[in-house]
Amino acid sequence: MTPLNERERFVETLLFGKPDKVPLQPGSPRESTLETWYRQGLPRDVHYYEFLLEALGIEYDKPAGPKTNLGVSFKMIPEFDEKVLEHKDGHYIVQDWMGAITEISDEFDYTYIREAKDFVTRKWHKFPVQNRADWEAMKKRFDPSSPGRYPGDFQERCKALANGDGVVSFAFNGPFWQLREWCGLENLCMLMLDDPDFVQEMTAFWTDFVSRTMAPILARLQVDYVLVNEDMAYKAHSMISPQMTRKFLLPSYERWIAELKRAGCRVISIDSDGYVAELIPIWIEAGFNCCFPMEVAAGNDIVEYRRLYGKKMAYLGGIDKRAIAAGGKVMEREVMRVVPPLLEEGGFIPGCDHGVPPDISWGDFVEYTRLLAKLTGWL
């Protein structure tokens, strides 16, 4: 078989094609994980993934040319001023750049509130949209034509990506995620019951903002992969019912996916932690064809999902982090339970079912990746 480049291999895999190899994406460590691995033998002066491949004897075909990203922002412009409001009893109370009042342990820099550099517990005290006056003010921060929304060299970046062999992708928040950032989870859920028209107004605004912001990208570039961030599930259940998902979120998904498909985007993925079994049928109906990260501890079983939904849905992740941490035969049984059956049909890039935690040792991570590399064609 003719060798594929990274871009071709990624798309071919997730579209249930016949790739030469399946992308090797074992999972990404957080800061505390890397600190643990440094103590266990990973050199500090190397990138963990490059060192991992070298340790396994894998020659990785990096994309040719300089690494480029689009640099397009779906965030608010301007952002709120970040500032520490209070520091006592081992905690910071902070106004973050999204306008929320948030609490975090002073073990971490307060910027960890919004940057997932480690496994951090946070507490939210207040959200920026408390009433319609707040909403009117918030809308002004989401103008697709705001200076800084697109980088000054946007045209050049598009040309570089079009001519490269890396995966062309971008991501943005789904309506549930974004409205939760504005209103807070409990407030949003109550609004869905008490003032559904207001929720639909905010959702329609966000839907239009995303469509208008991504339109210049789609007009200039063949995009391979788009990820919609939409954390909306706990362990055992989704955060809102399937009926509410259809009412409040499905119209946004359908509009975006129609626009992406018209522009030739072939893999449209949704990212949600938690138990997503109740949501997958709706996502398939909307037009999503990929899910991530498929947490096993929350009750997800992608082997069963494949039986139920066949090739309507591809998956990334799906390997139980607890089994990887256990190592040895426990890890091997979990990998062999999940990976070979799905790889046989395609539409699957195996990996840790979330960020790699520090209880996964460097040695166990190497052996787990070695097994993945054998199964995916790298060894």
Whole-angstrom CA distances from 350 to 33, 191, 268, 371, 376 are 20, 38, 17, 11, 9
Instruction: Provide the angle, in degrees to the nearest 10, between the axes of the packed helices 250-262 and 196-220.
Output: 10
Q: What is the residue whose two structure tokens read 């909307």?
A: 286
* Tokens, residue 122: 């946070």
Query: Which residue from 23, 42, 52, 62 is spatially nearest to 370, judged by alpha carbons?
Result: 52
Helix (H, G, I), strand (E, B) or coil at 276: coil
pLDDT at 110: 65
Is pLDDT above 80 for 115? no
Q: What is the mean pLDDT of the chain?
A: 94
Q: Where are the domains positioned within the chain?
A: 6-72+129-376, 81-127
Give Cβ neighbours of residue 9 (< 8 Å, ≥ 6 apart): 19, 20, 21, 22, 23
Q: What is the residue whose two structure tokens read 């060299």?
A: 153
Q: What is the rounded CA–CA span in Å between residue 168 and residue 173?
A: 18
Question: What are the φ and ψ backbone dihedral angles of 49, each rounded to 5 degrees?
Answer: -75, -40
- Least confident span in 28-32, 265-269, 279-283, 370-374: 28-32
Q: What is the residue whose two structure tokens read 């190397």?
A: 46
246-294 residue pLDDT tens: 999 999 999 999 999 999 999 999 999 999 999 999 999 999 999 999 9
339-369 residue pLDDT tens: 999 999 999 999 999 899 999 999 999 999 9
String of DSSP letters for 22-48:
-------B-HHHHHHHHHTT--TTS-H
164-204 residue pLDDT tens: 999 999 999 999 999 999 999 999 999 999 999 999 999 99
pLDDT at 317: 97
pLDDT band at 135 (very low <50, low <70, confident <90, very high): very high
* Tokens, residue 291: 């899910």
Q: What is the rounded CA–CA span in Å between residue 228 and residue 239?
A: 17
Q: Please tell me the pTM assigned to this model.
A: 0.94
- Least confident span in 40-54, 89-103, 321-335: 89-103
pLDDT at 251: 98
Whole-angstrom CA distances from 100 to 93, 118, 127, 195 are 10, 20, 5, 22
Helix (H, G, I), strand (E, B) or coil at 109: coil
Is pLDDT above 90 for 72? yes
Cα angle 272, 111, 107; round to 5: 100
Domain 6-72+129-376 coded CATH 3.30.465.10: no
* Tokens, residue 201: 């107004």
